[in-house]
Structure 1
Amino acid sequence: MSVTVRIPTILRTYTGGQAEVTAEGDTVGEVLADLDKNHQGIGARVLDEQGALRRFVNVYVNDDDVRFAQGLDTPTPDGAGLSIIPAVAGG
C-alpha cells in the first residue's frame, strides 16, 4: 500500500528536505522499513536497537496513535497518512 509519510523538521536531512515522502507497506513496520530503505538512516532515529519505536517518537496513522492500536503491526491502508512526531518536553 502506498502511504504518505509526514517528516518532522529534525528528520528532513534524511529526505533531502522534503516534508512529505511516499513509502510502501501494509503495516507501520513495513512502511518504516521502506522509508529507511529509500532514506537511509531515518529508521535508526525512529526505531531503537531492538526494532521498537523509540520512547520519545510518536507515530500516527491518520489520526490514530499506533501505540494504542497494534504498534508496528498497525495496518496502513492505501492512501493513508503516517505522521512521525517527536515528543516535546519542557517546563
Structure 2
Amino acid sequence: MSVNVRIPTILRTYTGGKAEVAAEGTTLSEVIQSLEASHPGIAARVLDDQGKLRRFVNVYVNDDDVRFEQGLETATPAGAGVSIIPAVAGG
C-alpha cells in the first residue's frame, strides 16, 4: 500500500531535497524498509542499531504518535500520511 512520507529538512539530503516521498508498506516497519530501498541511508537516521525507533525521532501515522500505538508495527493504510519529526531541544 502506498503512503506519503513527509521528510524533515535535515533528512532531505537522502531524498534529493524532496519534502514528501511515496513509500510502500502495510506497517511502519515496511514503510521504512521501502524508504531505505529508494533512499539509502535514511533508515539509519530513523532507527537505532537494534532496529528500534531512535529516541529523539518522533513518527506519526496520520495524526497518531506511533509510540502510543504499535511502534514499528503500526498499520499504514493506503493513502496514509507518515511524518518523521526530529525532536528539538533547547532552552
Aligning the two structures, in what range does the TM-score lie when normalised by the shorter sequence? over 0.9
- Segments of 5+ residues of structure 1 without an aligned counterpart are none
Deviation at 1:45, TM superposition (A): 0.3
**TM-score normalized with structure 1 length:** 0.99
- Ranges in structure 2 where 5+ consecutive residues have no aligned partner: none
Q: 1:36-65: per-residue Cα shift (whole Å, max 9, x none)?
A: 110000000000010000000000000000
Amino acid at match of 1:41: G
Residue 43 of structure 2 corresponds to: 43
Secondary structure of the 2:10 match is helix
| Inter-partner Cα distance in structure 2 for 1:20 and 1:60 | 14
Residue 19 of structure 1 corresponds to 19
Task: State the AA in 2 paired with 1:24.
Answer: E
Where do 1:1-91 residues align within 5 Å? 1-91=1-91
Count, aligned residues: 91
Question: After TM superposition, what 4+ stretches of structure 1 lie above 3 angstroms from structure 2?
Answer: none
CA apart distance, 1:19: 0.1
Residue 33 of structure 2 aligns to a residue in which SS? Answer: helix
